[in-house]
Amino acid sequence: MSYPAYTYIHMQQREANPLLKDIFRIVARNGPVMREIRNTPYRKSIEVEKVLAEELGVLGFLHSVTNKKVENLFRAGVNFEVDFFHPDLQIAIEIEKGEVNNVWKNVIKFAESAKIRHGLLMVPLIRHEGTGKESDFYQNTLKKLGNMERIYSLINSLAIIGY
C-alpha cells in the first residue's frame, strides 16, 4: 500500500475535493513525524494537527475552527469545532489518532454544517503498530463508514486519508 492511503467514501456528481492532491502531498512529506506520533501511546491528534498547520495554512486553511472564527459554520448553540477549515472552498479536515466513535462524530459535523461541502478525515493506517495488538484502523474506518448515503447526501464529498 502506498503512503499515505486515501479513498473517496462519497463524491456527489463527480465533485472532488479541489485540494485533495495538495493535502495528500503535505501528508506524504510529513509522514515520518506523523507515523511516530501515531505509533506512540498517549499522544494526541492535536500533535498531528500542529505538524500540518503551517502548510495547510499556506493553502488557506484556518486551524481549530468554531462559530467564533467562521460565523454560522454550525447552527447557533452548537459548540462543534473542526480541526481545519478552508472558508473559500468549504473544506473541513478532521484528524483522528484512533477513536472510532470520533470518526462517526466527525462525519456528523460535516453533514450538520451548511458551510462544509467537502469533508476529509485523516485516520491512522494502523493502530497500535508494533505492540502485538495492531489493528487496521484505516480499513476498519472504511467499513464502518459504508452505506450512509443519506448522511453523505448533505455534503459533496468525503475522503479518508490514512497516515
Q: Where are the domains of the chain?
A: 5-162
pLDDT at 41: 86
- DSSP state, residue 29: H
CA distance 8 to 127: 21
Spacing of C-alpha 48 from chain mean position: 11
In this prediction the pTM is 0.92
Per-residue buried b or exposed e for 113-147, using 16+ beta carbons within 10 Å of the residue's own CB: beebbbbbbbbbbbbeeeeeeeeebbeebbeebee
> In the CATH scheme, what is the code of domain 5-162?
3.40.91
pLDDT at 86: 99
**Beta-sheet pairing, 157-162 with 62-65:** unpaired
Query: How much helix, strand and coil, in percent to the nearest 5, is found in the chain?
Result: 35, 20, 40
Per-residue pLDDT of 32-47, as tens digits, reads 999 999 988 889 999 9
Low-confidence ranges of the chain (pLDDT < 70): 1, 128-134
pLDDT at 116: 98
